[in-house]
Amino acid sequence: MTGSGSPRVIAIDGPAGSGKSTVARAVADRLGLQYLDTGAMYRGVAHAVLREGIDPTDAVMVSEVARNVTLDVTRSHCMVDGEDASAAIRGPEVTGAVSAVAANPEVRGEMVARQRAWVVERGGGVMEGRDIGSVVFPDAELKVYLTASPEVRARRRAAEAPGVDVDSVAADIRRRDEADSSRAASPLVTADGARVLDTSDLTVDGVVDAIVGMLR
């Protein structure tokens, strides 16, 4: 959104392992804005779904969970109905279920409404996800689409999860890319007007400099 008085929104989208989270946090710090990881919201819903023993592909039950769940996603934590689920939402069960949950149009409608409300309450922010520039804030002041080669993305994700081998991370990334890009509801796309940045050969600081430079 541009113009005086409008919330200042920076949208950072891209596939898993493109560097979104690290970069979006650093951009928020540089600009003195708040940061929201919208993927953690979808993961929080998936966690609540699994906790209640619901099949993640049961659209009706999953939508009901999404409408009723209390999510509190901060920079470092994800609280789901008052329970600290920060570690659980990064685990293999949630990672395996989240694509099905995120493909549910009613879940998306609910999360998008909460994301817009988050921005209004804070007067702006840096938001990362898959559909921020395309659906949630198409009029964002800046829309960035981060990419990186599949090998680099798998290596980054494996480095975050010691003990997990790169090949299985690469297979998981391929599966989620396919699911996120081919779903009917808000698939992962490069938003109109988004600046595409390949982070494969850039340092975090290099990516942050490039993004902040786009604002000038």
Q: What are phi and psi of 48, to 5 degrees?
A: -65, -40
Closer of 8 and 20 to ligand DC (Cβ): 20
CB of 9 to ligand DC, least distance (A): 13
Our CA dihedral for 124, 129, 131, 133, rounded to 10 degrees, sits at 40
| The one-letter amino acid at 43 | R
Closer of 8 and 43 to ligand DC (Cβ): 43
Does 199 engage in binding with ligand DC (CB under 6 A)? no
For ligand DC, which residue of 9, 11, 12, 16 counts as binding (CB under 6 A)? 16
Piece in contact with ligand DC (CB under 6 A), picked from 26-34, 63-71, 129-137, 199-207? 129-137
For ligand DC, which residue of 8, 25, 43, 143 counts as binding (CB under 6 A)? 43
* Segments of the chain assigned E as strands: 8-13, 35-37, 71-73, 78-80, 83-84, 124-129, 142-147, 195-198
List interacting residues with ligand DC (CB under 6 A).
16, 38-39, 42-43, 98-99, 102, 129-131, 176, 180
